Structure 1
């Protein structure tokens, strides 16, 4: 059996590794001509790190990243409103939450693939069912017959477009900036993720290396994201703590990535015939819980388990049954958090901050437990 994976992002690469660990041939087709060291940072939460632990990759990731043992929501002046201590889960699952540069993670995953199992410059242009196979045509003129096809090609998935052409992408009307910068944070921030909530905007930062910081910021827009030019960032966050202002001002503009925030309205089915979607192609979420890539990583592990135990549609249906409830909960919760975090009314934001303060720690701990627990077959 050979499984053909469309998309060589974090989800697609992890999918191939998980399959290969099961003795299943996996071929990845990536549209880019080369895997460039682009992107900013990523936080691999405990659930993702459990997967990498089972795939034997956790030590390499830990060596190239930074442990995060606490997540804080703060006011713009970095006064804590809420804090989640992750040490409990480090002990429970014997693995850490790691902040790492995306390029470093991508390199680790790519080097784990079996020889010649990653094809670059393969952008899918057409897909059609021929008998019991898919005929995959690529823009470079190549074509292959695929018995099992997995779409790991992101929010704007070409594979999903062929399977389910009526799905809906939802615009959150928020613009997001991400960047990395050489910067020395005060020692107390070394193993923390801090996210500061203001009025209509917010910014989070975390250390990903000995002298490297990953940060992300977002702001609501009314008509067009273009009204929020990257060169206005210092003005947008001028009321925030001097540490935040310093992180922004020291980041070269060419290292800041700008994007609008959107998700995929939950769909009822992720598979059809011998084709299945994973990651953002199946369930793209807004980045408000840091679970987008983590859920793709979980998908890869669970689907590999299913394909090693079941045939065809039984593997896909079992995978969907195991994963859909959790994923849809994350999509919906993340959407709500994104809206609440961007409230502008002073009375509403004051009430919001007070409610965050008085929320019992056991509630936050229970929510984290639900996210970090992996499904079992």
Structure 2
């Protein structure tokens, strides 16, 4: 019998398994797909996430494969600077070893899988039910697996959550996101920073994820997902024709077959994250919109704290209670901030948008530093 059965081999599940493996426990990760495929293209990992990866022993490999970003710049659709976000200064003040790193999701996934012992990952095994008291996992093939603890790291549409805390469904956040990947030759000047542009009901951002590729993301306000444009580069480039170069060109050069279209969703606050000997983690517990680029980092923090709680209290209910007590309020705070940020970005009334932009230009640097600190300050 495994010490811990982890359902889902996404970022949170793999990080949890590595954290437990490093502490001498026997975790097994069960993944329903027959092969691991990254969801999306690029990912920006904040200083708090990088510190978690450092704890797991994989930060150097991530830096080697990715691109270190010193800052993110928020600009208008015409390119005027609204707000710079510098990660290096607050990270240094908090004693963190790293700033933000951008990397292709496939590269991050490969690094995590390589760190985990091969026998700890089981593919093509779909969770169909959970008994939180034993605990036991029932699989679609008809077999069952028992463990001392079960961790539901199976994403926003979590099967584990539906069995231990039914009725908590994802909610639409009012935007449809588009994502693509293009060759760096599209840009005349590649600098190690993230760029985001706010228009009226439209957003666009991009950053390099390697020496060869640039990841971009766009979001369009839509009352319902079906009212947003289909995922074709030509239609999307036309929608962003008023945005500053190189945005229309980045979109136009994207292959339609690889362009992703996804309604943005998050989870409402859950009453609890644990039930019996089962705990929820990552998007299964606190799925958030990508507005603050904190979804993966919060899952990484979950993984470190859960592994630490189990190392302190053993594979017991007390360990799960300690994990929830240490993580729930922080993750919920970040989730709320991300949703608020999204509402601010969604403004499409011209007068209100101008007021928003003017206010952003005059936000005191001390307030920016305080917000950044609240996002990246860790408790492990």
Q: Fold conserved (TM > 0.5)?
A: yes
Q: Does 1:113 align with 2:116?
A: yes
The equivalent of 1:370 in structure 2 is 374
| 2:365 aligned residue | 361
- Measured after TM superposition, the shift of residue 337 of structure 1 is 1.0
- What's 2:304 paired with? 301
RMSD of Structure 2 on Structure 1 (CA):
1.4
Q: 1:96 aligns with which of 94, 99, 106?
A: 99
- Structure 1 residues 351-360 or 86-95, which shifts more? 86-95
The corresponding residue for 2:9 is 8
- Displacement after TM superposition at 1:256 (Å): 1.2
Q: CA deviation at 1:37?
A: 5.3
1:173-209: CA deviation from partner (whole Å, max 9, x where unpaired):
211011111123343x521111100001101100111
Partner residue, 2:81: 80
Cα distance in structure 2, aligned partners of 1:93 and 1:106: 23
Counterpart contact for 2:4–2:26, Cα < 8 Å: yes
Matched, 1:243 2:243: no
Distance 1:227 1:216, change over 3 A: closer
Correspondence 1:314 to 2:315: no
Alignment of 1:9-24 (within 5 A): 9-24=10-25
1:225 Cα deviation (Å)? Answer: 2.7
Q: CA deviation at 1:147?
A: 2.2
Q: Are the aligned partners of 2:67 and 2:101 in contact in 1 as well (CA < 8 Å)?
A: yes
> Aligned pair 1:265/2:268, yes or no?
yes
For residues 329-370 of structure 1, give each alpha carbon's deviation from its aligned partner in whole angstroms, at most 9, with x where no partner exists: 111111111111011100000000011100011111111112
1:346 alignment partner, one of 335, 347, 350: 350
Which 10-residue stretch deviates more, 132-141 or 3-12?
A: 132-141
Paired residue for 2:164?
163
Equivalent residue of 2:293, what SS? coil
Q: Do the aligned residues in 1 keep the contact of 2:7 with 2:30 (CA within 8 Å)?
A: yes
1:126 matches 2:129: yes
Structure 2: stretches of 5+ with no match in the other structure: none
Gaps of 5+ in 1: none
Change (3 A) 1:371 1:278: same
Is the 1:175–1:225 Cα contact (8 Å) retained in structure 2? no
Q: Per the alignment, do residues 38 and 324 of structure 1 end up closer, same or farther by CA in structure 2, a change over 3 Å counting?
A: closer
SS in 2 for 1:353: helix
Partner Cα separation in structure 2 for residue 305 and residue 135 of structure 1: 23
In the other structure, the counterpart of 2:197 is 196
TM-score, normalised by the number of residues in structure 2: 0.95
Cα offset for 1:328? 1.1
SS of structure 2 residue aligned to 1:147: strand
Alignment check: 8 A CA contact 2:175 2:220 kept? yes
Residue 226 of structure 1: how far off its partner (Å): 5.3
Distance in 2, Cα, partners of 1:175 & 1:225: 9
Structure-2 residue corresponding to 1:151 = 152
Query: Which secondary structure state, in structure 2, belongs to the residue aligned with residue 50 of structure 1?
Result: helix
**In 1, distance between residues paired with 2:35 and 2:158?**
19
Deviations 1:134-175 (Å, cap 9, x if unpaired)?
Answer: 231212333212221000001110000000112242211211
- Answer yes or no: is the 8 Å Cα contact 1:84–1:361 preserved in 2: no
Q: Distance in 1 between matches of 2:169 and 2:201?
A: 25
Cα separation, 2, equivalents of 1:208 and 1:72: 16
Query: Do 1:221 and 1:228's aligned partners in 2 also have CA atoms closer than 8 Å?
Result: no
Deviation digits for residues 226-251 of structure 1, max 9, x if unmatched? 54211221121111012111111111
Whole-angstrom distance in 1 between the partners of 2:129 and 2:168: 18
Equivalent-residue separation in structure 2 for 1:205 and 1:286 (angstroms): 17
1:95-115, CA deviations, whole angstroms, 9 ceiling, x for partnerless residues? 131000000000000011113
Give TM-score scaled by structure 1 length.
Answer: 0.96
User: What residue is the counterpart of 1:55 in the other structure?
Assistant: 56
